[in-house]
Each structure stands twice: as C-alpha cells, then as structure tokens.
Amino acid sequence: MLKSYEKLSEYYYDEWGNFSLQYLQLLDHIASEYGFSPDSILDIACGTGNLLSALNGMGKQVVGCDMSPQMIAIAKKNNPDVEFHTVNMIDVALNRKFDLAVCAFDSINYLLSENDVSKLFSVVYAHLANGGIFLFDVNTQHIFRDHAGIFKRDINGTTFTQTATYDGEKELACTVFDFGTGEIERHVQKAYDDETIAALLEQNSFEILDTFANIEFAAPTKDAKRLIYVVRKC
Ligand SMILES: C[S@@+](CC[C@H](N)C(=O)[O-])C[C@H]1O[C@@H](n2cnc3c(N)ncnc32)[C@H](O)[C@@H]1O
C-alpha cells in the first residue's frame, strides 16, 4: 500500500492543483473587507505549490510546507526560488512569523483527531504576526457522503479507479486509488463540522471573521459540504 500522494502526486497538478487558486479571491476579500494585504505567506500543506506560484508571482514572500516528499518535489520543481519544508503540519517550527497562513483544499481533514486540529491551530498561531490572518477550509460529512462510490478517472491517458467510502459513526472517509498496476494508495480523512472548528479556534485564541460555504461567499447552511474560514490571531 502506497502512502497518500506517493503516486497520486504525479496526477495532482493537472487534475486538482488549480483548486487552491480560488484562494486568490479570499485574498481580494480580506483586502477589501479588512484592508489586509499580506507581504509574507506560509502555505501549510502546499501540495504541488500552485497557489504558492501565483502568490510568488505577485511578489509575496512565500514558504511552503507539506508532509509528502513527492508533492514537495513537484512544488520545488515548479518554484525553484521558493523555500519548502517536508514536515507534518502539526510539527511545523520555523521560528518566524508571517502576515498570512493558508491551508487549502481539505488538507486539514487529513488530521484525524480534534486534538491534532487544535495542535495545528496552535502551530499557526505561533507562526502569525499579531493580527495575522489564517485562511483554510474543511470538508464536512456532507461532501464525503456525496462522494462515496466507485469512479473511473482518466488523467493524461492513465485510467485508475477511485473507491470512496464514508463511515458516519467514526466520521472517517476513506478513498482508495487503484492505479491498475498493483499500486494502491489509501487516503483517510476526518469530517469536521462548524461547531467543532469554531470551538477549537476559540481555544486557540483565533477570532472568526468569516465562514463561507463556497468561494462565492455564500453563508453556510447546516448541510454545507465545505466550510471556508477567515480567522484572525487575537
Ligand atoms: C488535497 S491536497 C491539497 C494541497 C494544496 N493545499 C492544494 O490546495 O492544492 C492535501 C495535501 O495535504 C498534505 N498533507 C496531508 N496530511 C498532512 C500533514 N499531516 N502535514 C502536512 N501535509 C499534509 C498532502 O501531502 C497534500 O499535499
């Protein structure tokens, strides 16, 4: 069994990499709503670095962290002038502060306990300047329930099978990618709801500025599939 993103990294940039570019709209939002324009940005779980590339191109000082060596290798190749760290997001310890931190595209759902999410929030707190902003999103149970099933994917001529299940009792989603070559990759993610995330943010001294259900800034309903947070270090 492969580790998550060990093989999927080869397809990630083309198939999913640009999702994180939606965060550029959140940057516009914090500029217009809060007059906040960050110079330095820490991208936690930066993946293949698509968002970092865009931010780097805008002249921001960016640093990327991710646990997957394969994802980091691609991010580095695409952004040779950017600093990267291969590290678990709950262990990031750079000993410096940033204006903004981001953690995009359900990366936090890879943390399988509330305790670890709380650790992440304290790590982010330690890496933010006073008044710094943290942008992130989480998937709720509703998206994992919707995505359950077996799908064939075809990316750049490679066909593979994606089997997704959701265990409502444990609140765990499991996605297995079978590349048809004997290589199988398993991703486990935990669903989070707004109440849990809000409580953990409060425990870690973050003020919630906004919660959205999508990048069009819709207010979340109880059935929201994804929650996007704009929070500030108190
Ligand atoms: C869905 S991808 C998102 C990547 C990127 N943020 C984006 O929006 O394209 C999830 C990323 O989280 C990373 N990841 C998962 N668990 C992690 C952990 N505990 N610490 C650091 N990175 C982790 C994976 O390696 C992967 O790159």
* pLDDT tens sequence across 212-233: 999 999 999 999 999 999 999 9
- Residue at 1 is within a domain: no
Helix (H, G, I), strand (E, B) or coil at 67: coil
Residue 189's pLDDT band, with cuts at 50, 70 and 90, is very high
Check pocket membership of 138 for ligand 1, CB cut-off 6 A: no
For 130-166, how does the pLDDT look when each residue is reduced to its tens digit (9 = 90+)?
999 999 999 999 999 999 999 998 888 889 999 999 9
d(CA 65, ligand 1 centre) in Å: 9
CATH (domain of 85): 3.40.50.150
Q: Look at residues 192, 56, 174, 173 and name the one whose alpha carbon lies nearest to residue 120.
A: 192
For 22-56, how does the pLDDT look when each residue is reduced to its tens digit (9 = 90+)?
999 999 999 999 999 999 999 999 999 999 999 99
| Count of domains for the chain | 2
Residue 210's pLDDT is 98
User: Is the CB of residue 233 less than 8 Å from the CB of residue 130?
Assistant: yes
- Residues 106, 175 within the same domain: no
Q: Which atom of ligand 1 is nearest to the CA of 23?
A: 8
Residues in the chain: 234
Structural domain for 175, as ranges: 142-189
- Residue at 65 is within a domain: yes
- Residues 65, 117 within the same domain: yes
- Residues 204, 173 within the same domain: no
Distance between CA 27 and CA 70 in Å, rounded? 28
Q: Report the predicted TM-score, pTM, of the whole model to 2 decimal places.
A: 0.98
Check pocket membership of 66 for ligand 1, CB cut-off 6 A: yes
